[in-house]
Structure 1
């Protein structure tokens, strides 16, 4: 150390030497945008609904049958003091609901003025995908009746179709429940 160097200059010298000898930081990978949704099964197909479009998931509740409604309307259940219409989503699309009652679940939709429960064969939990892997089209993978409510697909072992419950509850066919 030179006698004429101040303590501050010595610290600056040490700092410069450390910086010149330090290994560079690894390049930070660009963070992938994640997309999450509620996975469910309807028949043999796998679907995923955007997280913000499903308010709650229930076991199949007891419900009272309603007269004068289409066959895909299972009935109405009491959910914490609110009447929840239970709709068989498989039957709405002309499919058979699974016989395994223990696996069935209800996706509760609360969109604007529509409060409804969509009965599905099975809920497969929260599914996470890379947003960039969303394929906007669904060539031949989709039942024509379901296609208007599908907004693309993710591929992981098999196709997960992105199903929009909000689009469904806005459709005139879904709202027309009377016989």
Structure 2
């Protein structure tokens, strides 16, 4: 007499004999991956290691006497952090906030910071063959943070360094 365990094990063995193998997924070692988003008319990507998480726009409490690009302080699971209008910081124009707005949570010395973006595109992957000159993506204030770019489906994507942004003295001193 077989035990219930023996019967289940026999079912498993028979099912595995008929299982269809999925093709193996191989990722090229030189493949660069990041989070794609838009600020103004620029498509940007930042390294996954620089983005802690992506969350809906938190409720913001205004901080009197702060720079206009510091929207205020937000709360995520009991942790307070500054909420920065990245478009205003870089271009001097406010981000049009909308329902479903997302922010990038970025780790910096002294705690996390939330950065507003105009649109989230999600994961992007690029090969070395897709590399192009950053051109207009690295103009104006972006030149400090964009040092390379990739082309994919007719769009240029500037690689934006969030870690460099978080170390910029002006960014770290939001008092007006």
Report the alpha carbon displacement of residue 39 of structure 1 after superposing the two structures with TM: 0.3
Q: 1:84 aligned to 77, 81, 84, which one?
A: 81
The 2-side partners of 1:94 and 1:31 are apart by 36
Q: Does 1:134 align with 2:136?
A: no
Question: Measured at CA, do residues 158 and 169 of structure 1 come closer, stay the same or move farther in structure 2, by a change above 3 Å?
Answer: same
Report the alpha carbon displacement of residue 32 of structure 1 after superposing the two structures with TM: 5.8
For structure 1, the 5+ residue unaligned runs are 1-29
Q: Which has the larger radius of gyration?
A: 1
In the TM superposition, 1:1-179 aligns within 5 A as: 31=28, 33-99=30-96, 101-102=98-99, 104-135=101-132, 137-156=133-152, 157-179=154-176
Normalising by structure 2, report the TM-score. 0.77
Q: Number of aligned pairs? A: 149
Aligned Cα root-mean-square deviation (Å): 1.9
Normalising by structure 1, report the TM-score. 0.76
Deviations 1:140-161 (A, max 9, x none): 3333111101120001111100
Deviations 1:87-141 (A, max 9, x none): 0000001243443513531100113434100111111101111144334x42233
Question: Measured at CA, do residues 140 and 43 of structure 1 come closer, stay the same or move farther in structure 2, by a change above 3 Å?
Answer: closer
**Structure 1 contact 97–121 (Cα < 8 Å) conserved:** no
Q: Secondary structure at the match of 1:128?
A: strand
For structure 2, the 5+ residue unaligned runs are 1-26
**Structure 1 contact 86–118 (Cα < 8 Å) conserved:** yes
The 2-side partners of 1:131 and 1:104 are apart by 32
The 2-side partners of 1:64 and 1:100 are apart by 15
